Each structure stands twice: as structure tokens, then as C-alpha cells.
Amino acid sequence: MLAPFARTVHSHLEVDGVRVFYRESLPDRADAPVLLLLHGFPSGSHQFRRLIDVLGSHYRLIAPDHPGFGHTQTPDGLTYSFDRLADITEGFVQRLGLAQFVMYVFDFGAPIGFRIAERHPEWIAGLVVQNGNAYEEGLSDAARGLIGLTPTTPGAREAIQGMLTLEGTRSQYETGVTSPERIAPDGWTLDQHFLDLSGRKEAQQALIFDYHSNVERYDDWQAWLRRHTPPTLITWGSHDPFFPEPGARAYLRDLPDAEVHLFDTGHFALETHLPEIAPLIADFLNRAWR
């Protein structure tokens, strides 16, 4: 017998002039654990659609598109910074009336999520960290080079624009992947569709120039982890070209009881290892939710 696939809804919420698009599963139980899914660059909530299908019948999964990504619509003049994206995500959570949730942080979703956690520790029932970095040793040389770019760095804008091409987007999915045939092309082609919309590449450029603000807060986020010790599940693609394996193990310094699972793949680990990762998340939600 086939396992039941989740019923889902797709909608928008208005937050400070931003029409935040989100996907939400409708679980069988009204009191089901809640998992807030924060996506990364250069993707959107669609990166979680298979996870939602698999787990959404038993858990309430909610995946918004950040401003500058996916189907979320933004007003002219919006400031694209990680602080501002965290403001919008905070307002989104408040509009939904979520009192508590487990937070899944991936890539750009990690600095957004850790800002939320600092502001509202009472919201966080646990963390699922998938290639979401908060440690210096989790930065590759390529990541350090990108983070070091400023608007006045010669060639910086051209270097960033080169990442925002179809070839650059595809490479983020395939670099470090030992079985690239397991990656459907839909992910990077859909990402590129959104990147090619008016104003999107400028938004991504602004966020990359702002990424240094995240590294500057690593000490604060690590202190938050030590202070609050949230239950934490870490699933990590070991061959991530931006956030290598030491970034996963570094969490154990501050969260010695965290579970760490490493996978022989790249940045988008869910693309290749959903059958292995989804049961880990389900088991974690059952134990972390109180």
C-alpha cells in the first residue's frame, strides 16, 4: 500500500508590504508538530516539496519563500539584507500565530533562522540544521572569497553575476555529488526562472554583499546555542563546496548532544538523500516536540 501523501495549501501573507508566498501541509492531527522550513540560495520553498509530500500527513510543514526568491512579491525599494529578511520571517511567523516550532535551517535560511532564534528563543522547540553554517571552520576558501567581496572590490559584481547564470546555478546542485543522476534538473531550472525575473539578481547581489554580517554574528549564535541547548539534528552533505563537513562537526562544541549525520553528497543533500534524511527528521520531530 502506498504511504499517504500530504494535502498541501499554497498561499500568501502580507508582511510589511511583502506578499510572502508559502507552502503548508495539512496533517491528519490538529496538534501535529510544526516544522518551519527556511530555504537557501538560490532556491525557494519548492526545494522542500518532496519532503512536504513525504512528511506532511503527520507533521505541519510550513515553507515560505524569502523576499527576493520564489513566488514572494516585494515592493520597490525593499532593502535586501539578512536583518530585513529576518524581520519579514518574524512577521510571517506572527501572522500565522505560531507559538512554537522546530526550525529547519539551510544555507541562507541559517542566518535568517538564527536571528529569529535570538529574538524569540521561546519559539524554538528544536533545530534541524542541513548545511546551514554558524562556524568559521564551516567556510570553504570559495565561501571566504565570496564573503570578502564588497561593492568596491574590482570585478565583484561580475563575479556574482557569473554565479547567477544557469551554469552557475546548476553547479551548486551538482558540485560534490557522487551520483548526479539522482538530481532532477527541475530544481536548478526553476531556480533560474526566478533568478531571471526583474530585480532578482540585484537582490541576490545585495545579500551576498551583506553576508559578512552573518559571520560577524557567529560568536553570538554559538553563545545562544550554549545557553538554550535546543534539541538539534544535523544532516550535512559532506562535499558542499561552500560549507564543508567541519561546519557540521563544529556544532558539537556547543551542542554535545546533537545528532550528526553526514552524507556522501553536495550542498543540496535533500535532492540525493531524501529517503535517508526524511526518516531522521520524522524521528527527531517525535522526540523533540513536547
**Cell 500500500 sits at which residue?**
1
Q: Helix/strand/coil (H, E, C) string of 89-109?
A: HHHHHHHHCCCCEEEEECCCH
Residue 166 grid cell: 544557469
Bridge partners of 7, per DSSP, are: 26
CA dist., res. 14 & res. 11, Å (int):
10
CA dist., res. 46 & res. 56, Å (int):
14
Note whether 90 and 121 are within 8 A (CB): no
By residue count, the chain amounts to 290
CA dist., res. 91 & res. 275, Å (int):
33
Question: Would you call 120 a catalytic residue per the annotation?
Answer: no
CA dist., res. 48 & res. 40, Å (int):
11
Q: Which of 46, 239, 267, 273 is catalytic?
A: 267
Phi, psi dihedral angles at 289 (to 5 degrees): -80, 130
CA dist., res. 269 & res. 162, Å (int):
23
Catalytic residues: 267
